[in-house]
Structure formats: structure tokens, C-alpha cells
Copies of this chain bind each other. A is one copy, B any other.
């Protein structure tokens, strides 16, 4: 099942979110307009906006407030990607050259900031102080997670717990916030807000683990980026941590992390070592466990097409190929 079909209950409203996002690129300064349109045209799956809308649909569904919120969350996500690609010196994202590749680092810093500003502005359209507070705190958490990743890059003595702490901050926090703020705007009771928050958090962790697995076993054309990108940046993810739990001095890993060899050959050997270990299976088992926790978190909510969509999404993230 494609991600888009899962979102059927809110598809028409997602089109409004898409239009709100497109509006951000309509500025009267031609250079900025073309850069914004370039970034915003590289559409992701819009998972976060869909979660906002689905999470809001259990109570009062205020579309006039939800559309700017969903757009704000997607723009916050886009802004962090723009800055991450700069931080990681990444050349390709979603199959097209990154902004830092085509426009240089100065412009990339400022366009990312501009997207953050737009996200903040759109968020104020919710007229909801609690939503705005959660939104600001989430950006702090994401930056904290990214900083931990940057600082720990090149270190191969990392524990699973450190990995989980990082992905909870850098990825799960925003999916959690998407679900939580959608619920808050709908006037949901606290136990429903908490249920949807936990759904988003577990889903986000599962999502990131699968992302990290795909970096080893995915198809480059489908991924839109080269396999082994994480190891090339010195980022240790769960499949490699698992390999190192079993073989702490694995020579292919030592070559990258101790000898600093980031040649295609060295990366290729390390990717192969991880793929031939049980690292992929262990990571996928963990992702499926988290996906089940996400589904279980929804227990307090009534059965509905939206709840079904959220459950299907949780299945999808652990079976997807890109």
C-alpha cells in the first residue's frame, strides 16, 4: 500500500496544506522565490501533515487552524533538512541536488532560517499558545539531537541507548509534536493527547530505525541518495551498533572509525559486513516492536477511519522500501 493511499481520510485537506506550503514560495523577491520553490518542490510524503490532520479528527476538526499548523510542521521539518544537509555536507536529497550544493553555504543558512521563520509565523495562525509553546520546544529538542549526532560523529563506541536518545530527539520529537498539536487543536482530553503523543513518538522511532536500515539495504534510485551515507559521515546507527556489540573490533568498522578511511571501498566493505551480520534483522525487530507500541498507544481512542489510517501508517513505516 502506498503512503498516499493510507492518507485517504484526509487527502482532500492535505491538498489545502500543500497549497499553504506552496504559498510560502510566492514572495516578490525573485531569487528567494526560486530557491524556496526549488526546496518546496522536492516533496516528501507529507507524513507529518497527515498525522496532524488524522490526530485532530477524533474531536472538533477545525480545518482553518489545522491547515496552517500542518504546513508549519512540514516547514519546520523542511528547514531542519536544509540545515542538516549543510551540516552533513550532503549532495543529494530525495533524488535532487541539495541547496548547499547549488547555492552555497551562506544562502543555505539563511534560507533555512527563513523557513523556520515561516513555520513560526504559520504556527501563530493556530491562535493557540500551548501549540506554539510545544512547537518552540520541539525545535530546541531537534537541534539538541542534531548536535549530539554531530559531536558523536566518528565515534564507534556508542551504545544503543545513546542511539535511541538521539533519534528520539532528532526525529521522533517532531512526529510526536505533529500528533500532539493536532490533538490539542481539536480540543481533545488529556488522555487522548497523551495517547496520540505516544503514538507519534513510537512511530517516529520506528521510522528513523527503518530509515537507518534502508541506508544499508535500500535501492539507491528509490532512496534518492547513495547507500552507506551514514557511515560515510561517521554516523553510527543501530545495525552497525549491533554488529559492534557482537564484534567490537570488526576490521571493516575499525578501518572507517579508527583509520579514518572513507573511501568507497572502505564504506562498501563496512556496509557488506553489516548486511551479512544480524544487525539488519535486530534493527527491524526493534522497529516492529516500536510500531506495535505505536498502535497499542491508540487504545484509548474510538475506532474510526482515522484510527485505522494511523494503524496502517505504523505498519507501513516498517515495511516501506523508501
Q: Contact partner of A107 among B106, B118, B147, CB < 8 A?
A: B147
Say which one of A11-19, A136-144, A206-214, A308-316 lies at the interface with B. Answer: A136-144
A140 partner residues in chain B, CB cutoff 8 A: 114, 117-118, 121
- Does the CB pair A150–B107 fall under 8 Å? yes
| Interface presence of A86 (CB below 8 A) | yes
| Interface presence of A1 (CB below 8 A) | no
Q: How far is the CB of A63 from chain B (nearest CB, A)?
A: 19
- Does the CB pair A121–B150 fall under 8 Å? no
A31 partner residues in chain B, CB cutoff 8 A: 147, 151
Interface residues of A in 58-88 (CB under 8 A from B): 80, 83, 86-88
Quick one: closest B residue to A79, CB to CB? Answer: B113
Cα separation A34 to B290 with both chains bound (whole Å): 34
Quick one: closest B residue to A123, CB to CB? Answer: B136
| Interface presence of A105 (CB below 8 A) | yes
Cα separation A83 to B109 with both chains bound (whole Å): 7
Cα separation A114 to B129 with both chains bound (whole Å): 20
A132 partner residues in chain B, CB cutoff 8 A: 120, 124, 132
- Does the CB pair A114–B150 fall under 8 Å? no
Q: Quick one: given A29-B144, A87-B110, A113-B143, are A136 and B124 in contact (CB under 8 Å)?
A: yes
Q: How large is the interface on A (under 10, 10 to 19, 20 to 34, 35 or more residues)?
A: 35 or more
Interface residues of A in 104-163 (CB under 8 A from B): 105-107, 109-114, 116-118, 120-121, 123-124, 127, 129, 132-133, 135-137, 139-140, 142-144, 146-148, 150-151
Additional pairs, 14, CB under 8 Å, beyond known A83-B113, A86-B106, A121-B140: A32-B144, A80-B113, A83-B109, A83-B110, A86-B105, A87-B106, A110-B150, A113-B139, A116-B116, A117-B139, A117-B140, A120-B120, A123-B136, A124-B132
Interface residues of A (CB under 8 A from B): 27, 29, 31-32, 80, 83, 86-88, 105-107, 109-114, 116-118, 120-121, 123-124, 127, 129, 132-133, 135-137, 139-140, 142-144, 146-148, 150-151
> Can you report 16 residue pairs joining A to B where beta carbons are below 8 Å apart?
A29-B147, A32-B144, A32-B147, A86-B105, A86-B109, A109-B109, A111-B147, A113-B146, A114-B144, A114-B147, A116-B139, A117-B137, A118-B136, A120-B139, A121-B137, A124-B129
